[in-house]
Structure 1
Amino acid sequence: MAITMDLEETASDSKLHKESFAKKELRPSSAVSFSKSEHGPETSSSIDQLKQYKSWVSNERWNELKKVADTAMRERKVFMIKGGGFPAVRRALIERGWIEKYESHKVRHPPPNVDPKKVSGKELSKVERMILYKFMEHHSVDFLWTSKRDKYDWLLSNKEVLISRFCRSIFTTKEGLTTSLTQMHWYTEPGVALTKFPRCYNIHNSDSLEEFIDDFRITACISILKWLSNTLQRHNEQDLVKSNGKVPFTCIEFAIARLNEYISFYTHKDIDDIDEQTQHIWEHEWDQFLTHHYLLVHENAKFLEDKNTSFRALELKATKVLAMMTKFWPQIDIDGVFNIWIVKPGNKCRGKGIQLMNNIKDIIGLINIPAQKTRYVVQKYIENPLIIYDTKFDIRQWFLITNCQPLTIWLYKDSYLRFSSQIFSLSNYHESVHLTNNAVQTKYKNNGDRDKALPDENMWDCHTFKAYLRQIGKYEMWDSKIYPGMKQCLIGAMLASQETMDKRQNSFELYGADFMLTDDFTPWLIEINSSPDLAPTTSVTARLCPQCLEDVIKVVLDKRCNPDADTGTFELAYKQVIPKAPAYLGLSLCINGKRIIKKPKERKHEHRSVTPIAPRIPSGDVIPDIDQPIPSEYSGPIITDFLTWLNPYDAIPMNRDGLLLGPKDSLTVRQAVTVLKSSQTLKNCNKRRKTSALSFRTHRGRREKNGESKRRVVPHSCCRPEDNLSNNHNSKYRTESASKADKPKIDRCIPPFKFLLSRPLQETNYCQLKVTF
């Protein structure tokens, strides 16, 4: 239904929008960080511009444009492409009914002196573009495709806008990928996630620099032994030895000794061999060895003749050590013999600043340049790459991440190969030989000596590569080893980097990963690029890039609306399963603890303190403090624990009512006695009713019907050892009444016992104990 737009209504709407926009302070409604001229309120000049546009189109066309804009805003189908290019994305969105909102600098105002009736073609389309832009000027875009992150205001973004970038992706830099993959061992899962990544170090870090130096030295030891073994297979011993040779045989023995020390360290034999101490190696010894390694491997120097040294004996030792090192040096196969390392700037792309080096002094000197702001990473160069017609190549593999939490990875089935323009050689370190980036190779002409089967554009798609594998009898390698290996590498790398990735839900991004193949067809991840080059620079990319972008829209938009929608050449490589959190039931997730204490005996009278009656112990009760049982006819002193004697009630088994759980003749009951300082002291205290050396606290109880009350003296609780009072001179006792009916009988057969207190001999006091039953 056509909607007629009057200019007065437009002005009133603009006024209302101006007031509402002022209330929102500084937070824009658009997902894009607009400038004031683009997203500010409509001024009189913008209204005047809109008036003059109406004369350029008919009323019917004006209403059609207004209807199109209203429908797109209502259905949330407004998109914007920032950064230019990407015609495949624009075409795919327009086919799905989306309307593009152009950037302000791309909308040109029509010249004032041109007659609108005479304008047609491109000029008219520009005018209609400007009219649509004015209709949707203050509407937030619903889909944003941008090529750079720094052109987007992430802090003020609308969370519902679908964006083709993640805010943070540190794995897209060489430095960030190296840092992330140091934790790869926590995410390795055979058959699912296994990243093969050449050893790499952030040498701007002092710790990483030390690790790199150690790695460089051990690799040199391995390389020189490999060189010796390979050389003796091709040459005779006499060809390697001269009377005026520059390298002594001790360098081979030095390398064998260092590798044996390395093996002993990782097998922990250095801990067991106490007598054999590890030999300390000085820096000048390492420098001398590295010099000998360079002379032998790179300059073909000869050994100094020594009749006491056997080449074959050294070869046997070297072969044995290399076989053992295979278990402790997983990347021994890619090291080769030249000890070549590739030095890369940590935050640059397109092959800028990359160098190949084999001298550790040159590498350290590069990072120690004064006022050097570039951070470098050092990565082990793969010295045994798979080459096609004597030419090095790598594989560009696209993959798409549509969610980071849970992690969802889509892998593109079609990839392409990028060839070098020169013949491969490990003696020539020029970038045209070893760097296969298209941005680097376009600067050089193809070597005329290359095989004619290689493409002039230096690119193959994966289907051509499969045909080559079929030609050499290795067709099954793509489906069985190469493609699954690249998938596992990417899954492992993304799992290791997941914690540093942005968790924004309505984001996705297309990445380009570079892989190298070794001579056994094993893929090794080299780096991951954001904003991969999708320009149609060759016939291969002209076909694959638009197809890939079209399939991205299928995954991002069509798959959301229809789970069964076609995803093109993308396949779901990995979808993380996150267990659901348990439902909250309102329960308090805490643990309440309560101290276990002995339940005191219930008091019959509040004014009287009742001491527990001597409990009964079952027959056969054994006190754990006494090691040997005491016979019943024994009449001597009983040696027991002093703390138990001070507090006998802790060792008495009682029930809830305070009754004994054993017979009266049990050793435990005999242990739980009433304590008196001495019989004479007690007698004097009863007669005089005065405080003696012992302090008393007396309370006279009521007389019971069964007989006259008696007094029993028991240790007061404040004098027990658990109260941390151990002064026996000021110890207090309390007496309490016990009725005749409650008083147990006295067993006269048990003599008084004497316990020796822990005091000096001259101050020792003896206590006479009465046992009442």
Structure 2
Amino acid sequence: MRFFRAVDTVSGPPSSVRQRQAARRACHDPCLDPEQLKRARLHVERAIKEKKIFVVQGPYPIIRSLLWARGWVEKKLPRTSRRPEQHPGTQKKQLQEEEDDEGSDGDDSEQGEAVPFLESSEPLCPPWPPDEEEDEEEGEEQRDEEPDGIHELMSQLVQDQMPYFIWTNHCGAVDYQRLQQDQVVNHYAGVKAFTTKEGLCLNLRNLPWYNQADPDSFFPRCYRLGSADERQAFIEDFRLTAARSLLKVALERAEDAPAGMEQPPKCDEGPAGQHPPLAPQLVEEALQLCKQHLGTLGHQDIDRNTPSPRMTGTDWDRFLRECYCVLREGAVPVLSGAQREQSQALLLDIRQWFLVTNWTPLTVWFYRESYLRFCSRPFSLRQLDAARHLCNVSIQRRFHSARGRHPQLPPDRIWSCWQFQAYLAQVGQAGAWQQVMEPGMKAAVVGVLCSVQSLVGPHKGSFELYGADFVFGEDCQPWLLEINASPTMAPSSAVTRSLCARVQRDTLRVVIDHRDDPTCPTGAFELIYKEAAVPQPRFSGLKLMVKGFSLTAPCFLSSVTLKSEIKKLIYTHVGIWLLLLAQMCVGHFKLLPHDQVAMPYQWEYPYLLSILPSLLGLLSFPRNNISYLVLSMISTGLFSVAPLIYGAMEMFPMAQQLYRHGKAYRFIFGFSAVSIMYLVVVVAAQVHGWQLYYSKKLLDSWFTSTQEKKKK
């Protein structure tokens, strides 16, 4: 069962009954007096009225304490949520340490919690010292925290209430389909589009469509090896990178490279501390590979008559083996370059927080404090163990620092950003943080969020805190490794113990205090990006709804109706025409005896031409051809009406004899032929008469429409 379903389910007795039951249980508690019960009940009623009910899932004592201080009441989760028990003493201790850190000059050596490692007179505290109101607010937060069970009692009184602030430790704990508009959650749906490595790999390729930025300038080239095309692209990129790296090393060693080196070097040759010389043949191969790549980028390989020679798999294996023999000898990590102390070079990364409070429009807050994490073993390309290549605290805590570690590295292997800036000043790069590193991280964060903005499910009023991991190159440019949802707030070191508490405090300032009062301080959070809102037209009070229906011209409507009627008459005429044709065929070809089917009368032969007017009428309908319709009307009189008049006159004597004497000489299947033919003549005459009538009306309609078009 998902977390939100658990906290939003209303069960048990009504609110008043539940409050009375909780009050009766509290009466037996010797730690609570009636005055406390009354104060708790009034506090709960005010919190319900102001919609200040919250739920916290996970070990976040700072969040609980800060919300309690703002007058919020916690709705406890069921015991099945496995939430560890919170100790008020721990909350007090963390808040006290946070206050002590803000009230001191920022030097960790005075607190006795970190090893001194910098001989600098510059304070390592943020340039935004806490004001007096902030200190008073935190003091009130601590005084309001009561370790006597009052919060537990208030939690029981709001068990049937809906929480309006939900803080969970993973986004899968929230059912976003059932969220109300006034509920605030610390997660968004669909954030896997950038909080997973595959999501970053796919979506950053679309960044140029949303932002004028190149993802290859801050995110390492990334491939999905499960795809055959991308796997081949990775292999080609890997080989080309080896060639480029070899040329770079050759340029760096050009002055020191000894002359006369013709054979590829071996990794075990050469005295310690000296770089092995480069073989000219190996450098020439790398140079040719780079030339071919540049030619491909410039489309110079299209018009060539002879294709450039390509290296085989065996040649590539030999080339990469010799390249690694050279490159591994000169592998030095980024931040040891100033002193060239290979034995003490440690890989590091930086954890940078940022906060998204809205996706439409996109609103991003950047935290101006961060911390660095070091590996416990010196960096090496020969040894690929986790102690040398992964800076995660959860991984490095399993290893001990190497012997002879650098004296500036504390035992917990964590630096604050202020300690890092002081180190940069010592090595002659004092302005690198403000001019290159921090602006680069801000641009990378904004670029990532712009590329996935359409993929994340926005919920008005919600927010989410993310932790981005960066490494820095030789030019101090940041490179994004990954973005983490629900970054840990556990105090794993002296630096993070106070820093994580401040991050949680400032997060609530932005998402709660700043929403109600835009002028309130936001701590170390800085608004770095806010998308321009789409302007909405003013509502003038008028009903801007248009109702209508389709209009049809009268002439067009009558034309369609007349065509339909004429077609019905034509099909009836065709049926009569086929019957007469069948009689002629049977009589002339003697298919049946004449006493069963009599020979046709004389008028039936010219009547066969009556099919022509019907065909002309059908041909006139698609394009409203007046000429065809006129010819159809004229031919109807000549080939249809005239034969019928002649036939009536021809059969009149035989009909008179049949009427007077009751004798018939011609039969059609036992019936008098003259009677059947007279019936055919009457029906056909009516068909052709109505056909002429409707054709005349249709012709008038067409003439009227033509004249109206000429007037326009």
Q: TM-score, normalising length from structure 2?
A: 0.60
Q: Does the alignment pair 1:33 with 2:6?
A: yes
- Distance (whole Å) between structure 2 residues aligned to residue 549 and residue 53 of structure 1: 32
Q: Does the alignment pair 1:221 with 2:228?
A: no
Q: 1:278 aligns with which of 289, 300, 307?
A: 307
Q: 1:264 aligns with which of 290, 295, 302?
A: 295
Given that residues 75 and 156 in structure 2 are in contact (C-alpha distance below 8 angstroms), is that contact kept between their aligned partners in structure 1?
no
Question: Which residue does the alignment assign to 1:186?
Answer: 209
Question: Which residue does the alignment assign to 2:42?
Answer: 67
Question: Which residue does the alignment assign to 1:375?
Answer: none
Question: Which residue does the alignment assign to 1:636?
Answer: none
Structure with the higher helix share, 1 or 2 = 2
Deviation (angstroms), 1:102: 1.9
**3-state DSSP class of the match of 2:178?**
coil
With over 3 angstroms needed to count, the CA separation of the structure-2 counterparts of 1:582 and 1:386, relative to structure 1, is: farther
Give 5+ residue unaligned stretches, structure 2. 86-145, 270-277, 340-344, 554-611, 635-712
Deviation (angstroms), 1:130: 4.5
With over 3 angstroms needed to count, the CA separation of the structure-2 counterparts of 1:238 and 1:733, relative to structure 1, is: farther
Question: Which residue does the alignment assign to 1:298?
Answer: 324
Q: Does the alignment pair 1:458 with 2:419?
A: no
Question: Which residue does the alignment assign to 1:333?
Answer: none
Query: Residue type of the partner of 1:496?
Result: S
Question: Which residue does the alignment assign to 1:111?
Answer: none
- Distance (whole Å) between structure 1 residues aligned to residue 351 and residue 536 of structure 2: 39
Question: Which residue does the alignment assign to 2:27?
Answer: 54
Given that residues 195 and 488 in structure 1 are in contact (C-alpha distance below 8 angstroms), is that contact kept between their aligned partners in structure 2?
no
Aligned length: 491
1:187-234 per-residue CA deviation (whole Å, 9 max, x = no partner) reads: 33369x996101111212233222212212322333344454455543
Query: Residue type of the partner of 1:176?
Result: G
Deviation (angstroms), 1:48: 6.6
Given that residues 262 and 280 in structure 2 are in contact (C-alpha distance below 8 angstroms), is that contact kept between their aligned partners in structure 1?
no
Question: Which residue does the alignment assign to 1:211?
Answer: 233
- Distance (whole Å) between structure 1 residues aligned to residue 427 and residue 264 of structure 2: 43
- Distance (whole Å) between structure 2 residues aligned to residue 243 and residue 75 of structure 1: 76
- Distance (whole Å) between structure 2 residues aligned to residue 589 and residue 472 of structure 1: 77
Given that residues 515 and 525 in structure 1 are in contact (C-alpha distance below 8 angstroms), is that contact kept between their aligned partners in structure 2?
yes
Question: Which residue does the alignment assign to 2:335?
Answer: 386
Q: 1:95 aligns with which of 42, 48, 69?
A: 69
- Distance (whole Å) between structure 2 residues aligned to residue 177 and residue 290 of structure 1: 30
- Distance (whole Å) between structure 2 residues aligned to residue 236 and residue 197 of structure 1: 37
Question: Which residue does the alignment assign to 1:743?
Answer: none
Deviation (angstroms), 1:385: 2.8
With over 3 angstroms needed to count, the CA separation of the structure-2 counterparts of 1:472 and 1:256, relative to structure 1, is: closer
Question: Which residue does the alignment assign to 2:102?
Answer: none
Deviation (angstroms), 1:403: 0.7
Question: Which residue does the alignment assign to 1:152?
Answer: 174
Q: 1:429 aligns with which of 358, 362, 384?
A: 384
Q: Does the alignment pair 1:287 with 2:313?
A: yes
Q: Residues 481-560 of structure 1: matches in 2 within 5 Å?
A: 481-560=436-515
- Distance (whole Å) between structure 2 residues aligned to residue 79 and residue 68 of structure 1: 14
- Distance (whole Å) between structure 2 residues aligned to residue 552 and residue 200 of structure 1: 32
Given that residues 195 and 525 in structure 1 are in contact (C-alpha distance below 8 angstroms), is that contact kept between their aligned partners in structure 2?
no
**3-state DSSP class of the match of 1:451?**
coil
Aligned-residue RMSD, C-alpha: 4.6
Deviation (angstroms), 1:295: 3.0
Q: 1:572 aligns with which of 515, 527, 546?
A: 527
Given that residues 354 and 364 in structure 2 are in contact (C-alpha distance below 8 angstroms), is that contact kept between their aligned partners in structure 1?
yes
1:359-395 per-residue CA deviation (whole Å, 9 max, x = no partner) reads: xxxxxxxxxxxxxxxxxxxxxxx98633476332211
Query: Residue type of the partner of 1:297?
Result: C
**3-state DSSP class of the match of 1:573?**
strand
1:450-508 per-residue CA deviation (whole Å, 9 max, x = no partner) reads: 22122222122111122122222221111111111110010001111112212111211
Query: Residue type of the partner of 1:399?
Result: F
Deviation (angstroms), 1:562: 0.6
Query: Residue type of the partner of 2:196?
Result: T
- Distance (whole Å) between structure 2 residues aligned to residue 471 and residue 182 of structure 1: 38
Given that residues 82 and 103 in structure 1 are in contact (C-alpha distance below 8 angstroms), is that contact kept between their aligned partners in structure 2?
yes
Deviation (angstroms), 1:178: 1.4
1:15-55 per-residue CA deviation (whole Å, 9 max, x = no partner) reads: xxxxxxxxxxx9x9x9552497x844579999877644433
With over 3 angstroms needed to count, the CA separation of the structure-2 counterparts of 1:181 and 1:588, relative to structure 1, is: farther
With over 3 angstroms needed to count, the CA separation of the structure-2 counterparts of 1:208 and 1:295, relative to structure 1, is: closer
- Distance (whole Å) between structure 1 residues aligned to residue 429 and residue 152 of structure 2: 58
- Distance (whole Å) between structure 2 residues aligned to residue 416 and residue 150 of structure 1: 28
**3-state DSSP class of the match of 1:495?**
helix
Q: Residues 287-686 of structure 1: matches in 2 within 5 Å?
A: 287-299=313-325, 337=327, 385-387=334-336, 390-581=345-536, 585-586=544-545
Query: Residue type of the partner of 1:173?
Result: T
Query: Residue type of the partner of 1:87?
Result: P
Give 5+ residue unaligned stretches, structure 1. 1-25, 109-123, 301-336, 341-381, 595-695, 698-715, 735-773
- Distance (whole Å) between structure 2 residues aligned to residue 444 and residue 88 of structure 1: 29
Q: 1:177 aligns with which of 190, 193, 200?
A: 200
**3-state DSSP class of the match of 1:239?**
coil
Q: TM-score, normalising length from structure 1?
A: 0.56
With over 3 angstroms needed to count, the CA separation of the structure-2 counterparts of 1:134 and 1:723, relative to structure 1, is: closer
**3-state DSSP class of the match of 1:572?**
strand
Question: Which residue does the alignment assign to 2:671?
Answer: none
Question: Which residue does the alignment assign to 1:120?
Answer: none
Given that residues 416 and 459 in structure 1 are in contact (C-alpha distance below 8 angstroms), is that contact kept between their aligned partners in structure 2?
yes
Deviation (angstroms), 1:161: 1.2
With over 3 angstroms needed to count, the CA separation of the structure-2 counterparts of 1:162 and 1:35, relative to structure 1, is: closer
**3-state DSSP class of the match of 2:199?**
helix
Question: Which residue does the alignment assign to 2:643?
Answer: none
Question: Which residue does the alignment assign to 1:623?
Answer: none
- Distance (whole Å) between structure 2 residues aligned to residue 127 and residue 462 of structure 1: 39
Query: Residue type of the partner of 1:402?
Result: T
1:329-377 per-residue CA deviation (whole Å, 9 max, x = no partner) reads: xxxxxxxx5699xxxxxxxxxxxxxxxxxxxxxxxxxxxxxxxxxxxxx
With over 3 angstroms needed to count, the CA separation of the structure-2 counterparts of 1:131 and 1:291, relative to structure 1, is: same
- Distance (whole Å) between structure 2 residues aligned to residue 444 and residue 490 of structure 1: 31
With over 3 angstroms needed to count, the CA separation of the structure-2 counterparts of 1:279 and 1:40, relative to structure 1, is: farther
With over 3 angstroms needed to count, the CA separation of the structure-2 counterparts of 1:67 and 1:49, relative to structure 1, is: closer
1:57-106 per-residue CA deviation (whole Å, 9 max, x = no partner) reads: 4444333222221111111111121112x222122212211122222327
- Distance (whole Å) between structure 1 residues aligned to residue 453 and residue 21 of structure 2: 51
**3-state DSSP class of the match of 2:235?**
helix
Given that residues 251 and 289 in structure 1 are in contact (C-alpha distance below 8 angstroms), is that contact kept between their aligned partners in structure 2?
no
With over 3 angstroms needed to count, the CA separation of the structure-2 counterparts of 1:338 and 1:405, relative to structure 1, is: farther
Relative contact order (C-alpha < 8 Å, sep 6+): which is higher? 2
